[in-house]
C-alpha cells in the first residue's frame, strides 16, 4: 500500500503538488508506485509468468506466442530510441550500456583487420560445427596457453564454432535434458532468457554476497549438488556485471572444475578471460580459463564458451566457440542445424590467423594496459562525483555501481537510467542482472535494484561524455531537490507516460 504523505502546514499556506509528490517518492515501497518500473513491466515479456504478455492491446495478438522478454541492452536501446537516440546519430549520445569493447586501434595492439578474403569455397555454407582449420586453431591456442603440461590435449573435435555467444548458450540449452540448473544472481542478462525459454532447464538460484566480492561459494555449491541434485552449473568467469575475477580463480576454479568428475556439468562463459588488470607489470599478458584445470578433455564435463567478441574486440564478426568433450560437440552440431545454421564462412577463415599465439599475446598485453587506464579514469571521476564504487572491478570492462546512498528516487537503477536518458546517456539498470525467470518478484525487493552497470568499453571521450551527464543529473538534484525526478518519461511513441498511480 502506498504511503500517504502528511501535509505539513506553515501558517495558512498549503503544500504544493510538487511537495506532495516529493514526499511520496521518499517512501517508494513497491514497483506499482514508480513510473520507471511501470514502463519496464509494460514492455513485452516483463510481466510475471502466467500473466498475459500483451505488448499493445490495440494490436492483434498472435495465438500461441509468448514474449520472452528483452535483454538489458535491447530494452535500454528501445527506451533510448523513445528519447531520440538513433544509431545514425549515436555520436551525440554516450552509450555506457552496450556490452561491447571499443573496436578501433589502441596503443601497441596489432593492426585492426581491414579486409576479408572471399575464396569461392567460402561462398558455400560452412559446417554447423565450423571450419575445421579454425577449430584446430582454437584447440591449439588453448593447449598452448593453458595445457602445455597436460597429456590430454584439445583437438578440433572438442571445438564447435557458433555465430555468437548467445547462439552457443542456445545450442547447449537445446541439448541439455530435464535437469536442475544452478545460476547466480547477479549474472549475465541473457541467462534469464535461456532459462525462461528452454523449459527443460529447471533454474535453481544462488544469491552471491557482495561482502564476499560476489565470489561463488564452492562449499555451498557442493552442498547444493548433494541436496538438490544439481546437474548443471552455469556461470560467467570473469563475472559480468560485477567485474570480479576473484569469484572463481586459482584453487577455487580448480575445485569447481573437479565437480565435473562427480556427475555435474560445469558451463563457464569466459568471454572476459583477457580483461584482467594486474598490479605488477610482469603479469600483463596472463589470462584465466577453466581449461587449465581439465584433466581429460573428453571425460571431464567442463564446457567453455568464448570467442572473438570481447577479447579480440570484434563483436560484429559473430564468430565464437564452445569447447568441451567431443560427444558434446556432436550434439551441438545437431542442435545448430535447426537453431542457427552455423557461423559466417568467410569470417571464420579470416579469424584463423588471429588465433596465432604470438598475435594473441600482443593483443592481450595492449588490451589489458589500455582498459586498465580507462578503468582507473572512470573510477577516479566517479569518486569526484561522490559515487565511490563499493567493489572496484578487477576484470571485465564493467563497473557495478551502487546507488543506495543517493536520495530517492535516484537511488534505484531504473529511475537513474530514465533520468540519464534525458541527458543522452545510456546505462543498464541492475535488475536486468537479477536472473529471475518467473519475473514475479517485486522489483524493489531485487538484490540488484539499487545498482546500474556502467561499461568502460567505449572510447575515453564517450566515457567522459557519459560521466559529465551523470554529473549534471546529480547537480540538478542538489540544486532543485527531488521533486522533478521520477516522472514525465517518454514512451515508445515519444510521449510522456501517464503519471504513476501513487
Contacts for 84 with CB less than 8 Å, ≥ 6 apart = 424
Torsion of CA 93, 96, 97, 103, to 10 degrees: 90
84 and 182, same domain (yes or no):
no
140 and 223, same domain (yes or no):
yes
Cα separation, 147 vs 8, in Å, equals: 71
Would you say residue 23 has pLDDT above 70?
no
pLDDT-derived band at 312, boundaries 50, 70, 90: very high
* 299: number of Cβ within 10 Å: 12
163 and 301, same domain (yes or no):
yes
| Cα angle value 160/161/163 (rounded, 5°) | 135
Look at residue 369 and tell me if it is in a domain.
no
Distances (CA, A) of 492 to 54, 334, 341, 497: 15, 39, 33, 9
Look at residue 239 and tell me if it is in a domain.
yes
238 and 298, same domain (yes or no):
yes
Distances (CA, A) of 15 to 22, 131, 324, 476, 479: 11, 71, 66, 22, 20
Positive or negative torsion for Cα 285, 289, 293, 294? negative
Look at residue 413 and tell me if it is in a domain.
yes
Stretch 460-475: mean pLDDT: 97
> Would strands 320-323 and 159-162 be described as parallel, antiparallel, or unpaired?
antiparallel
Per-residue pLDDT, 37: 87
CATH code at position 449: 3.90.1150
Contacts for 406 with CB less than 8 Å, ≥ 6 apart = 416, 474, 477
244 and 355, same domain (yes or no):
yes
265 and 181, same domain (yes or no):
yes
Stretch 162-171: mean pLDDT: 95
- What is the DSSP code string of 208-222? PPGGGTT---HHHHH
pLDDT-derived band at 182, boundaries 50, 70, 90: very high
Would you say residue 24 has pLDDT above 80?
no
Would you say residue 475 has pLDDT above 90?
yes
Looking at per-residue pLDDT, the higher value among 246 and 147 belongs to 147
196 and 88, same domain (yes or no):
no
Which of the listed ranges 50-64, 192-206, 211-225, 240-254 does the model predict with the highest average pLDDT?
211-225
Stretch 305-326: mean pLDDT: 98
Stretch 405-417: mean pLDDT: 95
Please identify, among 317, 339, 361, the residue that sits at the C-terminal boundary of a domain: 361
153 and 257, same domain (yes or no):
yes
Domain count, the chain: 2
Per-residue pLDDT, 486: 87
CATH code at position 134: 3.40.640.10
Q: Which of 49-58, 290-299, 334-343 has the lowest mean pLDDT?
A: 49-58
Look at residue 108 and tell me if it is in a domain.
no
Stretch 39-45: mean pLDDT: 78
349 and 257, same domain (yes or no):
yes
Stretch 172-201: mean pLDDT: 88
Would you say residue 387 has pLDDT above 80?
yes
130 and 226, same domain (yes or no):
yes
Question: In whole angstroms, what separates CA 137 from the centre of its chain?
Answer: 27
pTM exceeds 0.95, yes or no: no
How much of the chain exceeds pLDDT 70, in percent? Answer: 85
Per-residue pLDDT, 378: 98
Per-residue pLDDT, 56: 54
pLDDT-derived band at 435, boundaries 50, 70, 90: confident
Which among 324, 304, 334 is positioned nearest to 128, based on CA atoms? 334
312 and 421, same domain (yes or no):
no
Look at residue 416 and tell me if it is in a domain.
yes
Range of 167's domain? 120-361
Look at residue 106 and tell me if it is in a domain.
no
125 and 236, same domain (yes or no):
yes
Would you say residue 62 has pLDDT above 50?
yes
pLDDT-derived band at 75, boundaries 50, 70, 90: confident
Would you say residue 107 has pLDDT above 50?
yes
Look at residue 227 and tell me if it is in a domain.
yes
Look at residue 492 and tell me if it is in a domain.
no
Looking at per-residue pLDDT, the higher value among 172 and 39 belongs to 172
Per-residue pLDDT, 6: 34
Per-residue pLDDT, 455: 97
Distances (CA, A) of 493 to 79, 81, 98, 490, 497: 10, 10, 23, 7, 10
Per-residue pLDDT, 68: 64
The mean pLDDT value of the chain amounts to: 87
Amino acid at each position: 500500500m502506498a504511503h500517504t504523505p502528511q501535509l505539513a502546514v506553515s501558517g495558512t499556506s498549503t503544500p504544493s503538488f510538487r511537495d506532495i509528490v516529493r514526499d511520496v517518492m521518499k517512501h517508494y515501497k513497491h514497483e506499482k508506485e514508480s513510473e520507471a518500473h511501470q514502463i519496464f513491466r509494460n514492455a513485452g515479456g516483463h510481466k510475471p509468468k502466467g500473466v498475459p504478455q500483451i505488448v499493445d492491446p490495440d494490436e492483434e495478438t498472435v495465438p500461441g506466442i509468448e514474449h520472452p522478454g528483452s535483454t538489458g541492452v535491447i530494452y535500454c536501446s528501445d527506451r533510448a530510441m523513445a528519447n531520440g537516440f538513433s544509431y545514425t546519430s549515436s555520436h551525440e549520445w554516450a552509450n555506457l550500456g552496450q556490452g561491447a569493447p571499443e573496436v578501433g586501434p589502441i596503443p601497441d595492439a596489432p593492426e585492426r583487420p581491414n579486409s576479408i578474403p572471399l575464396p569461392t569455397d567460402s561462398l558455400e555454407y560452412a559446417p554447423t560445427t565450423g571450419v575445421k582449420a579454425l577449430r584446430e586453431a582454437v584447440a591449439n591456442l588453448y593447449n598452448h596457453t593453458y595445457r602445455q603440461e597436460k597429456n590430454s590435449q584439445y583437438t578440433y573435435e572438442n571445438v564447435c564454432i557458433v555465430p555468437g555467444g548467445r547462439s552457443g548458450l542456445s545450442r547447449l540449452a537445446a541439448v541439455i535434458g530435464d535437469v536442475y540448473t544452478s545460476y547466480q544472481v547477479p549474472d549475465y542478462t541473457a541467462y534469464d532468457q535461456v532459462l525462461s525459454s528452454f523449459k527443460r532447464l529447471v533454474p535453481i538460484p544462488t544469491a552471491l554476497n557482495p561482502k564476499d566480492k560476489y565470489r561463488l561459494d564452492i562449499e555451498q555449491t557442493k552442498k547444493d549438488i548433494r541436496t538438490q541434485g544439481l546437474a548443471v552449473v552455469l556461470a560467467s568467469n570473469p563475472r559480468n556485471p560485477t567485474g570480479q575475477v576473484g569469484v572463481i580463480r586459482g584453487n577455487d576454479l580448480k575445485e569447481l572444475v573437479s565437480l565435473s568428475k562427480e556427475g555435474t556439468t560445469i558451463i563457464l562463459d569466459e568471454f572476459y578471460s583477457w580483461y584482467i588488470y594486474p598490479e605488477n607489470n610482469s603479469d600483463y599478458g596472463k589470462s584465466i580459463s577453466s581449461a587449465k584445470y581439465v584433466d581429460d578433455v573428453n571425460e571431464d564435463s567442463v564446457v567453455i564458451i568464448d570467442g572473438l567478441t570481447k577479447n579480440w574486440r570484434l563483436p560484429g564478426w559473430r564468430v565464437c566457440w564452445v569447447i568441451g568433450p567431443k560427444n558434446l560437440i556432436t550434439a551441438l552440431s545437431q542442435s545448430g542445424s535447426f537453431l542457427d545454421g552455423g557461423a559466417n564462412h568467410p569470417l571464420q577463415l579470416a579469424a584463423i590467423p588471429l588465433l596465432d599465439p604470438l598475435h594473441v599475446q600482443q593483443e592481450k598485453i595492449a588490451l589489458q594496459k589500455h582498459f586498465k587506464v580507462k578503468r582507473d579514469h572512470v573510477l577516479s571521476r566517479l569518486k569526484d562525483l561522490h559515487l565511490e564504487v563499493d567493489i572496484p572491478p578487477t576484470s571485465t570492462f564493467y563497473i557495478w555501481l551502487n546507488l543506495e546512498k543517493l536520495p530517492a528516487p535516484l537511488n534505484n537503477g531504473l529511475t537513474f537510467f530514465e533520468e540519464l536518458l534525458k541527458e543522452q546517456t545510456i546505462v543498464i539498470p541492475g535488475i536486468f542482472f537479477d536472473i529471475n525467470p518467473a519475473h514475479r518478484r517485486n522489483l524493489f525487493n531485487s538484490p540488484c535494484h539499487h545498482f546500474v552497470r556502467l561499461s568502460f568499453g567505449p572510447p575515453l571521450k564517450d566515457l567522459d561524455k557519459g560521466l559529465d551527464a551523470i554529473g549534471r543529473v546529480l547537480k540538478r538534484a542538489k540544486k532543485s531537490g527531488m521533486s522533478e525526478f521520477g516522472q514525465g518519461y517518454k514512451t515508445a511513441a515519444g510521449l510522456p507516460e501517464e503519471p504513476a498511480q501513487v
